[in-house]
A and B are shown apart, each in its own frame.
Chain A
């Protein structure tokens, strides 16, 4: 039995709620949300996964429940192995997950990013605010219901916006990056096309 698999076996003995997760490379497990912090602590302290490589989230799109999954990738700097830990977030509209900042300071920025992009509220995070988008930005761009073309947003400074009437124009992505859908469809639909192009040459851009 390889070392990471052994680590997962030990983990599942200690936390019976942990289930195995399908993965194409590293060992992975699915953890119930209340046990997440304890599991991460166990992996860090007793299984030598000392480096938090990455924290991110997946949006399984509107209608699915649980809609959001947080994903942690841990790396052992001594054993040179990765492990993937995932947990379904509580709440589909306002997802919540426990913060790992108490275990790794590295989680601070990663969780801020996950909050910024998905709107996942990490409980216990010391300073949960947007990191890549500006403060006051009203949307969560990596959610599946956010269109690729962007949504018109007033400028971050309400005073400037009120004075000038300026709005941030829709991102120049419209009609830009092409996507090909797969699956059964006719040739026209299967051609590469902008995914959420709501207007084209024939149809004027709606004001």
Chain B
């Protein structure tokens, strides 16, 4: 019975340690890990206080990658901000693009056609696979398993080739537009994605087999960095980190957007909320993503791939702009003044690879948001570090960071 298993909390383990022997008082050491440290995955700095090898205090210092994206957003039109969303969670730009586009479309009360929704779902799930592959690869390196990284990156490369064919860019895709996507899928692209999925599944099993019953990996992750269900919710964790703690919360199921309700998929949840469970959840999520992609391709709708009736929001295709006066003017207005939005407030969260990426938009009308707040899942996920790291060994911190799978581009914005 999982509920009766008693895995001592890290803080409890630290408390259970024998008190200092009289006359041998230890001095606390302060240690700064990062901002340039291989296991901090970017520019995170942990200001730690150590008693021997055990952390007594952990204070994350963030902001090294702060670019002021929210300030920038207030100073440009809605479409101009799309490339900035690439650089939030830069491991899954397609998912960010989609989340942002849907948030603005909610503001405009705009429905995009089924084909556009399906394209977005396929690309977002591909982005999820790509992000989780990197997460697993990096987690493997953190815990001493180099091979996983190589396998994972080989698969990511195949995904990037597909992204490049679709969007023209491998990394920063800027694919979504308000009211549609930048262009339709190229001919034969969906078949290529389907073929990728077919060959990916057995390789995924191979990759996971390298870790799942790996003694060294299990020793470093099982029972380490336990986050209880209550803590996970109280600290606002989302995504695989929350599900790893046993909360079956997935916005794709709970508040479906972009047609996710049509697809059949399961939400994996962990039992103990330790690093190992978070790893298992990510592994299973990739299988589920493949399932979603295959279903979306099987019933890939035809028809328009952008909202054709959104004349003041979505710029018409280039060939029409060059041949028709009406469309030329329409394009000119959208480019110069931005897509025209009503006044109001919306908040939309999408289930991104790292968790719920939210956009809160305050509009006073016109083509520029008055205030745009980005709710970054990595930011919230990292805020639990001071709680979960204390009482662990320094080497466990590396496992915990790897298992939380954060991106500083998104955390710092």
Contact = CB atoms under 8 A, between A and B. Distances in A.
B233 interface: yes
Contacts of A82: 347, 349
B72 A177 contact: yes
Contacts of B267: none
Nearest to B380: A106
B80 A182 contact: no
A24 B75 contact: no
A73 B360 contact: yes
B144 interface: no
Interface string B35-67: 000000000000000000000000000110010
Which of A105, A132, A141 gathers most chain B CB within 10 Å? A132
B76 A178 contact: yes
A105 B234 CA distance: 6
A195 interface: yes
B387 interface: yes
A82 B387 CA distance: 26
Interface in B339-393: 340, 342, 344-349, 356, 358, 360, 362, 365-368, 370-371, 373, 375, 379-380, 382-384, 387
Nearest to A116: B63
Contacts of A183: 366
Contacts of A123: none
Interface stretch (B161-169, B177-185, B247-255): B247-255
A162 interface: no
A4 B70 CA distance: 29
B28 interface: no
Interface in B62-119: 62-63, 66, 68, 70-72, 75-77, 80, 106-107, 109
B236 A180 contact: no
Which of A26, A191, A192 gathers most chain B CB within 10 Å? A192
A179 B234 CA distance: 39
A141 B383 CA distance: 22
Contacts of B274: none
B337 A190 contact: yes
Interface residues of A, number: 51
A199 interface: no
B338 A51 contact: no
Contacts of B149: none
Interface in A153-192: 173, 177-183, 190-192
A28 B346 CA distance: 10
B344 A24 contact: yes
Contacts of B371: 58-59
A105 B349 contact: no
Contacts of A26: 347
B247 A77 contact: yes
Interface string A25-55: 1101000000000000000000000111110
Which of B66, B80, B109, B345 gathers most chain A CB within 10 Å? B345
B379 A179 contact: no
Contact of A106 (B254, B344, B383): B383
A146 B77 CA distance: 19
Given A58-B362, A84-B345, A25 B106 contact: yes
B412 interface: yes
A24 B346 contact: yes
B255 A80 contact: yes
Given A22-B345, A108-B383, A183-B366, A52 B68 contact: no
Contact of B349 (A28, A53, A146): A53
A54 B77 contact: no
B358 A54 contact: yes
Nearest to A28: B345
Contacts of A148: 71-72, 75
Contacts of B107: 24
B235 interface: yes
A177 B75 contact: yes
A139 B250 CA distance: 38
Interface in B202-254: 233-236, 247, 249, 254
Given A106-B234, A179-B76, A73 B358 contact: yes
Contacts of B365: 182
A52 B367 CA distance: 30
B6 interface: no
B26 interface: no
A54 B362 contact: no
Interface in A70-125: 71, 73, 75, 77, 80, 82, 84, 104-106, 108-110, 113, 117
5 contacts: A84-B347, A106-B236, A132-B412, A181-B368, A192-B77
Given A52-B236, A73-B375, A104-B234, 14 more contacts: A24-B106, A56-B360, A59-B371, A73-B358, A105-B387, A132-B62, A132-B63, A177-B72, A178-B76, A179-B75, A179-B368, A180-B367, A182-B368, A190-B336
In the A-B complex, the 8 residue pairs with the closest CB atoms: A106-B236, A80-B254, A132-B63, A182-B366, A24-B344, A109-B383, A54-B375, A56-B373
